[in-house]
Structure 1
Amino acid sequence: MTTISPTKAPRTVRDRDDVQAQYARDYVDLVAAMTDLGLMRRRYGWYLGRGLILIALFAAAFVALFTLGAGPIQLVVAAVFGILFTQAAFLGHDGAHRQVFASGKNNERLARILSNVVVGLSYGWWMNKHGKHHANPNKVGKDGDIAPGAIVFTAEDARQRTGLAAFFLARQHWFFFPILTLAGLDLHVNAIKAVAGAEPVKHRALEAVLLTIRLVGFPALVVWAIGPWWALAFLVVQVAVFGVYMGGSFAPNHKGMPIVPPTLTIDFLRRQTLMSRNISGGPLVAIGMGGLNYQIEHHLFPTMPSSNLGKARPLVKAYCEQRGIAYTETTLVGSYRIVLAYLQKVGLGHADPFECPVTAQLRTR
C-alpha cells in the first residue's frame, strides 16, 4: 500500500479552515493552469478520427465473420470483437464524461448508443455506478468498485467469509484473472437487471430497446453467419476476451491503493490523487487502456479529453511534488503485481486498509 509522508495536523478550528481553504485554492489553481494550456478544449478532430478507425475495424471484423466460414479461425475473429467492444466502451466512457462534445446532450446520446447498442451495457446503470466511484474513489460504503463480490477488497469484508468461501478467499489472487473472463457476462447481466427495474435508470424503455438490439441481435448475426455450435464457441471467447480486457484495464487504476474509511473526509485534490494510480508505458499503453492509464489526471479533470491527459501529467506530477502529495505511477505489469499481492494479503487476513497513513494525515472534523 502506498506510504504517504506525514503532515502536521491543524490544531484549531481556524487552522483547519485555513488549511481547507488552501487545499481548495490548490485545485482551483491547477484547473486554471490546465485551462490556460488549452487542455480542457474539445478535440473534435481527434475523436472523429478515433471513431472512424473504430468503425472501419468493426466493418472488417464483420466481413471476416461472414466470409471466413465456420471453423477455428472464427475464434480469432471473436477475440477481435472482444477487443473492439472494449475500445467502444472506452469511447463511450469519454462521452459519458462529456469529453467529446461541448453539448451535454450530444455526449449523452453518444454514450448511450455506444454503451447499449454497441457494447451491451446499460448507460443509466453505468452512470449511477461510475458517478459514485468518481465522487468517492476507494471509500468504503460509497465506491461500488470495492464492494464485496467474488473478490473481496477489505479485511472487514474478508472476516465475513467462512467455510468454502473463506478457502476461496485465501486464494483469491490466483483466481483474479480467471474470474475476469466472466466479467463481461456480469456486465451484460447487470445491464438487463437495471433496465428490468432493479435500479433507477433514466429512459428505461429506450435503454431496454437498445439493449435488446445488441444482446439479441449480435448473437443472432453470429448464429446466421457460422451456425449455432460455432456461434456458441464464438460468443464464449468474445465475452471472455471482453471481460478480461475491461477488467484488466480498470483494475490497475485503484486496486491496492489506500481504502478510505466511511468517516474520513478529504479535499478533492488529495481524494482523487491519493486513491489513484497511473500506468506508464507511453502511447501504446494509452491506446490499449483508452487513456485510463492517466487515472490521476482523469479523476482530477474528468471532462478533459482523454488525448490531453498525457499532456497534463507532467504539470500535475510536479504540482503534487511541490505540495507533498504522493503521486503513484508504475508499469502495467508492476500494477498487476501490486493488485495481486494486495488481494493475497486481504485473503489471508493480513491487510487492514484503515492502517494507511492517509487516515491520520487528512482527517477533518
Structure 2
Amino acid sequence: MSHLTVRDPAHENGCAKAPETPGVDCGERLPVPQTDAGRSPEAERLVDPGRRSEQCTFDLTGASEAAGTHRGASPSEDGTDLDGTDVDGTEQGPEGAPLTTAQERYEESTPGLDPETAEPVLTYGPPNGSRVPHRPRDRPGRGCGRPGCGHPGTVLPSGWDRRSTGAAGLTEHERWTTMSSSQDVGPRTPAQPPAAPPARAARQFTSSYTALAQRVREAGLLDRRRGYYWRRIAAAVLTLVALAALVQVVGDSWWQLLLAPLVALTLSQVAFLGHDAAHQQIFTSPRWNAVASRGLASLLAGLSHGWWTGKHNVHHAAPNQIGRDTDIDSKLLAFHPGAVEGKGRAHRWFLTHQGYWLLPLLLLEGFNLHYDSASAVLRRGALKRRRLEVLLLAARWTAYATVLLLAMSPGKAAAFVGVELALFGVLLGGAFVPNHTGMPVLARGVKQDFLRRQVSSSRNVGGGWPVDFFMGGLNRQVEHHLFPSMPRPNLPLVQPLVRRHCADLGLPYTETTFAGAYAAVITHLNGVGLAGRRERSCPLAQQFRA
C-alpha cells in the first residue's frame, strides 16, 4: 500500500494495481501521483519503450504472484496495459538463482489504514487479525548483527548485497522482521503461513493465467505486426483520399448519398485501427501508439482518443460489472434488472421490448459517440492533452465540411453527414454490442480473478473473414480481453490455445455465430425488461419466485 510514496511511474503503477487483489478499489481509496519522469533521468529512460507498464521478477520458480496482479489497464490511465508476464527471469536472474520467495502475508498492509480500506485486506488474513511488525528493540537476539534483532541471517547468492530487496519489496532483514510477530513469546522464528484464504480458488486461476500468458509470450504471439498495420493504415488513408476526390467528381447531386456508406465503412475501419493503437498493439513505444491513436481516432474518425481510452480502460478492467463498466450504464437501455428501478411507466414498457429497438437505436449511436466525445473534450477536467484533442477534432470537422461544401449544397451536405453517421453507428456499435451483452453481469463490489472475469463476461463471434473485417477483430473478444496488447492478426492464432486452456480448467468458453449472438442479445435485453418489471411486483410473490 505505502500510499504510493514512490518516484517512478513503473512502481506507481505496480503499487496502485496490487491492492486490487485483496479488494481495494485504488481509484477511490488511494491517489496515483503521476510522477513526472522527466525529473528522474533513470526513470525517463524506461518510459519511452513502455517499461513503466511492465513488471519483472527474479523468482524462477513461478511462485511469485506479481504477474497475476500486475495485469489489466494501467492505473495511470495513460492508455497502456500493465504487463506482468515476464516471470521467467532468465536474463534478470542473479547468479545462484532461483531465490526462495518469502511467505506471503495478507495482513501486512493493514497498519495505519482506515477501517473501510483495511476490511478487505483483513478478510484475507488469518483469523486473529492484523500482525504488527516487531521493532528490533523489543527483543534481544542474534544472527544478522543488528542490536536487539532475532533475525538469524540467510546465505544469499554470491554477488548480492544483503540490502537487496526481495519479492515483497523489503530488504532481506526487513522481510524477516515483518514476518515475525511482536506478540510472540520465546525464540523468534519466521511466522507460520497464514490460514488458507477464501480466495484460494481465485489465486489458482491467477497462477493458471500466468502460465497461459507465459506460453503465449514464448510463442511470440505478443510480438508486434507492424507490416500488417502499416498496410491497413495506408489502405484506409488512401481510400479516404479517393472518396474525397470522388465526392468532387459527383458534384451537387443526391447521388452523393451513395458514397456516404463507403465513407462510414472506411471510418469504422479507421476507428478500429485507433482502438488497436490505444491498446499498444501497433508499436512497442507507448508514445508512438498514442500518436497513432490520436491521428487515427481524433484526426480521421473524429472521436477523442483521450475520452475513448479513459472509458475503454475502465471497461477492460471491470467488464460487465455494475457501477464500474460504463458500457452497461445507459440512460435509455437496461442491461441488468437493477437498471429498471426508478424508471417511469412508459420507460418500463419500452424496456420490455428494448431488444427489438436495439437495431434501430444503433442508427443514432454515431451521433451519440461524437456528442460524448466532443462533450468530454470541451469540458474542463482531467482529460490529458485536452487542447491538442480540441485542435485535432476541430481540424477534422473543418476538413470534412470543406470537402462536402465545395461539392454540394449545405442541405445535401447535411444529409450526407446524417447518412454517414447513422451507418457509422451501426458498424461501430454493432461490433461492440454482441461482445458482452447477455453475458454474466457482476454485482457492484464483487471481486473476481482476472482470468474468470474476462472469459466469463466475453462472447466470441464466428463467421470467417467477413465477420473479422466488419467487427475489426473484436469478434474474438475473449482473447482480446485476456491479451489487450496482442496485435489483431495474432488473435486467431492464440484462440485454440485459449480455448484448450479454458477447457482444462472447466471454464466456460462462449462462441457463437453472428446471428446467434444477436439472438442472444435481443433475448437478454427483453428478459431484463421483464425481470425488472417482475421485481416491482408484490414482495411476497417475489420471495416465492426466489
Q: Give the TM-score taking structure 2 as reference length.
A: 0.61
Match of 1:363 in 2: none
Supply the AA of the counterpart residue of 2:480: H
The worse-fitting range, judged by mean Cα deviation, of 99-108 and 114-123 is 114-123
CA shift digits 1:169-210 (9 cap, x unpaired): 222122111111111111111111111126521001110111
Aligned structure 1 segments of 4 or more residues deviating by more than 4 angstroms: 350-353
Q: Is the Cα contact below 8 Å between 1:222 and 1:231 reproduced in 2?
A: yes
Supply the AA of the counterpart residue of 2:455: T
Match of 1:196 in 2: 378
Match of 2:198 in 1: 16
1:337 aligns with 2:536: no
Q: Is the Cα contact below 8 Å between 1:194 and 1:200 reproduced in 2?
A: no
Q: Secondary structure at the match of 1:14?
A: coil
Counterpart pick for 1:54 among 231, 236, 261: 236
Q: Is the Cα contact below 8 Å between 1:98 and 1:107 reproduced in 2?
A: yes
Counterpart pick for 1:282 among 454, 459, 464: 464
Structure richer in helix, relative to its length: 1
Once the two structures are superposed, the pairs formed by residues 211-222 of structure 1 within 5 Å of their partners are: 211-222=393-404
Aligned counterparts of 1:237 and 1:134: Cα–Cα separation in 2: 31
Aligned counterparts of 2:312 and 2:380: Cα–Cα separation in 1: 17
Counterpart pick for 2:245 among 60, 63, 67: 63
Larger Rg: 2
CA shift digits 1:143-193 (9 cap, x unpaired): 000002221111111122113222322221221111111111111111111
Match of 2:212 in 1: 30
Q: Secondary structure at the match of 2:217?
A: helix
Aligned counterparts of 2:474 and 2:461: Cα–Cα separation in 1: 8
1:124 aligns with 2:309: no
Q: Is the Cα contact below 8 Å between 2:225 and 2:487 reproduced in 1?
A: yes
Identity of aligned residues (%): 38
Q: Secondary structure at the match of 2:440?
A: coil
Aligned counterparts of 1:329 and 1:203: Cα–Cα separation in 2: 39
Aligned counterparts of 1:248 and 1:316: Cα–Cα separation in 2: 25
Match of 1:346 in 2: 528
1:310 aligns with 2:487: no
Counterpart pick for 1:39 among 205, 208, 221: 221
Q: Secondary structure at the match of 1:101?
A: coil
The worse-fitting range, judged by mean Cα deviation, of 238-247 and 52-61 is 52-61
Counterpart pick for 1:261 among 443, 447, 450: 443
Q: Is the Cα contact below 8 Å between 1:154 and 1:351 reproduced in 2?
A: no
CA shift digits 1:327-360 (9 cap, x unpaired): 000011111111111111112226999xxxxxxx
Match of 1:359 in 2: none
Q: Secondary structure at the match of 1:335?
A: helix
Q: Is the Cα contact below 8 Å between 1:170 and 1:344 reproduced in 2?
A: yes
CA shift digits 1:16-62 (9 cap, x unpaired): 35433322210111111111111000001111111111122212211
Supply the AA of the counterpart residue of 2:225: R
The worse-fitting range, judged by mean Cα deviation, of 322-331 and 21-30 is 21-30
Q: Is the Cα contact below 8 Å between 1:136 and 1:142 reproduced in 2?
A: yes
In the alignment, structure 2 segments of 5+ residues that lack a partner are: 1-126, 128-194, 536-546
Q: Is the Cα contact below 8 Å between 2:459 and 2:477 reproduced in 1?
A: yes
The worse-fitting range, judged by mean Cα deviation, of 104-113 and 196-205 is 196-205
Match of 1:157 in 2: 339
Once the two structures are superposed, the pairs formed by residues 90-239 of structure 1 within 5 Å of their partners are: 90-197=272-379, 199-239=381-421
Q: Secondary structure at the match of 1:149?
A: coil
Q: Is the Cα contact below 8 Å between 1:342 and 1:351 reproduced in 2?
A: no
Q: CA RMSD in A?
A: 1.7
Q: Is the Cα contact below 8 Å between 2:338 and 2:532 reproduced in 1?
A: no
Aligned counterparts of 1:126 and 1:167: Cα–Cα separation in 2: 32
Q: Is the Cα contact below 8 Å between 1:249 and 1:289 reproduced in 2?
A: yes
The worse-fitting range, judged by mean Cα deviation, of 123-132 and 89-98 is 123-132
Supply the AA of the counterpart residue of 2:215: A
Deviation at 1:73, TM superposition (A): 2.3
Given the superposition, is the C-alpha separation of residues 348 and 19 from structure 1 closer, same or farther in structure 2, using an over 3 Å criterion? closer
Aligned counterparts of 1:244 and 1:309: Cα–Cα separation in 2: 24
CA shift digits 1:201-250 (9 cap, x unpaired): 10011101111112233123212212212111111100000001111000
1:72 aligns with 2:254: yes
Q: Secondary structure at the match of 1:226?
A: coil
Q: Is the Cα contact below 8 Å between 1:219 and 1:235 reproduced in 2?
A: no
Aligned counterparts of 1:287 and 1:299: Cα–Cα separation in 2: 19
Supply the AA of the counterpart residue of 1:101: F
RCO higher in structure (CA 8 A, sep ≥6): 1
Once the two structures are superposed, the pairs formed by residues 316-335 of structure 1 within 5 Å of their partners are: 316-335=498-517
